[in-house]
Every structure is written in C-alpha cells, then in structure tokens.
Amino acid sequence: MTDRRKFLQYTGTAALAALATPISQAGQRRLATRRIPGTDESLAVVGLGQSRAFREGDAETSKLLLNTFFDYGGGYVDCRGDSRYHVASVSKTLGGNEAVFLGSYFSGADATKSETSAQRLRAIRGADSLDLMHGVPEDGVPNWDVFRGWKDTGLTRHIGLARHNARYYDSMMKVMATGTMDFVQVNLSPLETEAEDRILPMAMDKGVAVTTNRPFINGRYFSVVKGHALPAWAVEFDCTTWAQFSIKYILSHPAVNCVLTETENPKHLLDNLGGGIGHMPDAATRKKMRKVVMDLV
C-alpha cells in the first residue's frame, strides 16, 4: 500500500507545486457549498475526518489544520470519542465555533452515557443543540427511536447513520425508508462505487444529506494511480492532482453533500481542499474518470 507521503515523494516537485496552489488555479478562494436537504443550511463540500492530530490531542497541528480549513470556508468535521471534545475546544479557541459543523458518534444502546457525552460536548461548544449525532448501523438501527428522541428533545438538530462498507447498506436503507434520517455516510470513490447504485438514489428520493468516507481507500487509491499522469482533460474541471481527481469524481454526483478526508499534513489538506474548488465534472466526464482509474487496477 502506498500512503500519501510516499506517493508525493514518488511524484516529486511537480506535485508539490500543485499542492501549494490549488486555490489560485481554480480562480476562487473558498470551497463550494451544497444545501442540506430540507433546510436552509449549507455545508462546504470537503470536510475533515478523524485526523491523527485530533485523536492524539495535538493542539498545535490541530490549530493549523482547522485554521486553514476555516479560512477556505470548511465546516464539517466528523470525529468520535475524545477527539470531538478536542475539536470543539480548539475551534472555540480559534474563534471558529460558528464555522464548525460537528458530526460525532453516539450509542443508542447506552443512551444515558451518550446523553452525558452529548451534554459535555454541547457545553464546550456553548450551543443549544449539537449539529449531528449519528451512529453505526449495528447499534443505530435497533435503537433508532433513541436517536429520534434526541432530535425531538432538541439535543441535536440532525441524526444519521455512518459506515464504510457495502455490507451495511441494507440496514441503512431500511432506516432511510422511514423518512426520519437526516444524514447518511458511506464509502465512495472511483474504486468503490456500489453506493451509487443503492444508497445515493434513495438518499436523493428521501431528502437525506450524503457524506462520504474513504476517498483514497486508506491509501490503496494512490497505489493504483502511482506513476501515471493525470489525463490532460482533467484541467477542464480544475483538477491538478490525483487526490483532487477522486474528490471531484465523488462530488460530481448530485446526491453528495460533502467528502470527508483525514490528514494531519497541511499540504495534504490544501490538496484535498482543491478538490472542492472550481468546476466539477459533468455526468459524461464522470464515467470517463471512473474508467481511467479502473483501467489502472
């Protein structure tokens, strides 16, 4: 498996130059936004996931990442455990408390503990309600009424389910069918496309916001594209790196609200943010993009 650091070492100075200027090449500074279905709220199209800096409570790196993220209009941060308290605290210190849209994980099977954690997070943020409380299907599906109760009482504004493997799609779709889910998070990339046939059409039909994880499949994507040049036509949708190629492929689907990326490296963050800026591929180009990557496998 090739991680991003090794991939950048392989691709050399040209790729590093592209990372330094994703914004100027796109002709605009801030991330595009998309409306959360059924609301007047919008989310920036690239978000931050469970960065190691957040997990380890690395305040300095977290400040650098979040400052850059907010500067380009980023909002959605998705984290669990103690990371959520760390992100909430650092965001407040930076004055970005209003900017951050914090999604975190809770257990419906242990509602009392979850409510205590939620109240702690709410106190750190100084908010009336949390943004998004979601769970994993194994816990959230049998305890969906608990999640609905949290929304009904105002503990959170949105509820949802999140997972990273197609084997969970059936149970997630079962809850979507009830019309009570606000967010669904699934894996999606040019190499993992099953959600396009199953989850995304239903989400559009039911008015469910979609966030995605695994845009680089934990580094496997970079192993596939290593040593290959971007198609010349990628410039038509302001794409300068393979990381942006995957992100723009995902965002070219109309159901997707936000792509979640994980990094502790500011250069990687800038690269990822470039994927949410400028033109996006149309439907025909999207098919070409998938074929390009699949032909390299």
Write down the domain spans for the chain: 4-294
Q: How far apart are CA 184 and CA 172, in angstroms?
A: 8
Residue 1 has pLDDT above 60, yes or no: no
Pairing mode, strands 156-162 and 183-187: parallel
At 29, the pLDDT band (50, 70, 90 cuts) reads: confident
Q: Taking residues 120-143, what's their average pLDDT?
A: 97
Residue 17 has pLDDT above 60, yes or no: no
CA distances from 151 to 71, 119, 122, 144, 211 (A): 30, 13, 14, 11, 19
At 28, the pLDDT band (50, 70, 90 cuts) reads: low
| Residue with more model confidence, 286 or 4 | 286
DSSP state of 275: T
Q: Taking residues 218-238, what's their average pLDDT?
A: 97
Residue 241 has pLDDT above 90, yes or no: yes
| Residue with more model confidence, 26 or 133 | 133
pLDDT, tens digit, for every residue of 176-211? 999 999 999 999 999 999 999 999 999 999 999 999
At 21, the pLDDT band (50, 70, 90 cuts) reads: very low
Question: Any idea which architecture 4-294 has in CATH?
Answer: Alpha-Beta Barrel (3.20)
The pLDDT assigned to 8 comes to 43
Least confident of 18-32, 55-69, 168-182, 197-211: 18-32
Residue 238 has pLDDT above 60, yes or no: yes
pLDDT, tens digit, for every residue of 146-162? 999 999 999 999 999 99
Residue 15 has pLDDT above 90, yes or no: no
Strand partners, 178: none
pLDDT, tens digit, for every residue of 253-294? 999 999 999 999 999 999 999 999 999 999 999 999 999 999
Q: In the block, which residue shows the tokens 């050399």?
A: 12
Contacts of the segment 65-71: beta carbons below 8 A, 24+ positions apart: 65/263, 65/264, 65/266, 65/269, 66/90, 66/91, 66/94, 66/96, 66/100, 67/94, 67/96, 68/266, 68/269, 68/270, 68/273, 69/269, 69/273, 70/94, 70/96, 70/99, 70/100
Of 44, 45, 51, 43, which is closest to residue 86 (Cα–Cα)? 51
Residue 26 has pLDDT above 50, yes or no: no
Residue 6 has pLDDT above 70, yes or no: no
Q: How far apart are CA 29 and CA 21, in angstroms?
A: 10
At 134, the pLDDT band (50, 70, 90 cuts) reads: very high
Q: Mapped to the 3 state alphabet, what secondary structure does 211-273 carry? A: EEECCCHHHHHHHHHCCCCCCHHHHHHCCCCHHHHHHHHHHCCCCEEEEEECCCCHHHHHHHH
Residue 16 has pLDDT above 80, yes or no: no
The pLDDT assigned to 294 comes to 97
Residue 3 has pLDDT above 80, yes or no: no
Q: In the block, which residue shows the tokens 């059936």?
A: 170
pLDDT, tens digit, for every residue of 74-130? 999 999 999 999 999 999 999 998 999 999 999 999 999 999 999 999 999 999 999
